[in-house]
Amino acid sequence: MTVAQERALADLWPHFGIDFHGDKLDLNSVFARSARCALEIGFGMGATLAEMAGQSPDWNYLGIEVHRPGVGNLLRLLSERALGNVRIICADAVEVLNTAISDDALDAVYIFFPDPWPKKRHHKRRLIQPEFVSLIGKKLRTGGLLHIATDWDEYAQHILSVLESTPLFSNLHEKGCFAPGRGARPLTKFEQRGLRLGHGVWDVQFRKS
């Protein structure tokens, strides 16, 4: 963790951070306003979340990440860009969804470039599994968006298959099809580098029916 990230955690966590103790969150109280709310699970270093929040100030954004340097970096970005529509939880996403987020509370859920666990014996560790997708479906309002992106072809096929077999969701595009582009998802430096190297990126967008 860099000095700047440590300083951001110390100075800015009280303003943007939510100490997770398993209690149910009132999102209107958390953000001190009523607005549509998007959740990003595993925001990494926070650049994408900060950019989305800057582009849509009328939305509230909740980010979940366990990597403390990433949390510190996002806090730094929020301060530098004077963004007030983001709150952060540093905890396991499954625990947060199960205990802290009410059903039908979210308008969008973003999961960008989750760990692909490429070795077959590790596939069971992948985040995108039927049970987890069903949990997200409970937390989304009807019509809410689930947007997942990956740069692993085989994982992309797995994600598409899991979502199309989940009754709560319908493909925003044709059945069996990936999204034709990123949609509102910002292009990251990581992704730019991959594209220059010829790597593919697959976006999956589904609505809660």
- Residue 39 contacts by C-beta under 8 Å, 6 or more apart in sequence? 61, 62, 63, 64, 101, 106, 108, 109, 110, 139
Nearest to 43 by CA among 78, 10, 12: 78
- Residue 26 contacts by C-beta under 8 Å, 6 or more apart in sequence? none
pLDDT attached to residue 191: 79
Cα 118 to Cα 76: distance, rounded to the nearest angstrom? 32
pLDDT attached to residue 122: 86
Mean pLDDT, residues 67-95 taken together: 97
**CATH code, domain with 148:** 3.40.50.150
Query: Which amino acid does the sequence have at 172?
Result: L
Can you give the residue range of the structural domain that contains 10?
3-208
Mean pLDDT, rounded, of the chain: 94
Residue 179 has pLDDT above 80, yes or no: yes
Q: Domains in the chain: how many in total?
A: 1
Cα 169 to Cα 52: distance, rounded to the nearest angstrom? 24
pLDDT attached to residue 56: 97
Residue 53 has pLDDT above 80, yes or no: yes
Choosing from 115, 151, 153, 203, which is the catalytic residue?
A: 115
Residue 41 has pLDDT above 90, yes or no: yes
Residue 198 has pLDDT above 80, yes or no: no
Least confident of 93-97, 180-184, 186-190: 186-190
pLDDT in tens, 5-18: 999 999 999 999 99
Residue 113 has pLDDT above 80, yes or no: yes
Q: Does the annotation count 115 as an active-site position? A: yes
